[in-house]
Amino acid sequence: MALKDFKWALITGASSGIGREFAIELSKSALNIIAVGRDHNRLKEVANKVRESSNVEFVIYPADLSKKEDVDSLIKDLSKYQVDLLINNAGFGLYGEFTELALDEIEKMIELNIKTLTTLSHVFAKKMIERRSGGIINISSVAGHIPLPYFSAYAATKAYVYNFSLALWAELKRYNVHVMCVSPGPTETRFFERAFRQQSIQRFGNRMKPNEVAIGALRAFEKGSIVYTPGLKNRFIVFVGKKLMPDRFIAKVLGG
């Protein structure tokens, strides 16, 4: 799937981290960008960064995609654009004992990580099918491949993304629409600020750079990969979780 054949890319969670790097890298391939995020000022910074070295069109769309009304407005407002590549990157996690976490925050996470991703995939996949061309990149996590105590609800949302993406790939490939799932491990993004609040994140050791994840994912997409897990350590974790150890054993060990 050649990125040079695409005109517009819609990226959620584009104000920082992996989403920001997707916007920068795709602009180098001459794709016009629609950048969605909650922080308008950060989106402007990304736009300025892109415009320093590219003449592509860059549309800023501030929105909180955990709110249905914002998702509905986005779909309506962007209907005039031919979105050839959808990158569902927006999402967040919550760390801690499940019953100690605020229920409204868990529900907001499920709304964003699952419902919004599904809604946008449905809306834009329909249009891609009509054109017999397009692509969707969904951002899951290594957490979506294993039962992960203290990240239980978050890991479950990412397991949904993984399984949904592979099933959608199988459905859409006949229409020349390629779906790929990306499963990053710990990455230097703002994810940890929100997930851990005041808690230590030292247990995760070295984290990947977000541009490494974005560049690797786009290369994998162009090669036609269905699943891409960046980083040797992360690929090992997924391999162990799926091939070597029973889920119940992993959950027991990680649960302490």
Report the relative pairing of strands 32-37 and 8-12 from DSSP bridges: parallel
Q: Are 142 and 238 in contact (CB under 8 A)?
A: yes
* Calpha distance 255→68 (Å, rounded): 34
112 burial via Cβ count (<10 Å: 0-12, 13-18, 19+): buried
Does 160 qualify as catalytic in the annotation? no
User: 133: how many CB neighbours lie within 10 A of its CB?
Assistant: 17
Local structure of 132: helix, strand or coil: coil
Would you say 35 and 14 are in contact if contact means Cβ atoms under 8 Å apart?
A: yes
Paired with 137 in beta bridges are 87, 180
| Beta pairing partners, 134 | 177
Q: Distance of alpha carbon 236 from its chain centroid, rounded?
A: 21
Of 154, 160, 162, 228, the catalytic one is 154
Angle at 183 between CA 181 and CA 187, to 5 degrees: 140
The 3-state DSSP class for residue 84 equals strand
Of the candidates 116, 111, 71, the one whose C-alpha atom is nearest the C-alpha of residue 94 is: 111
93: left (phi over 0), alpha (psi -120 to 50) or beta: beta
What is the set of active-site residues? 154
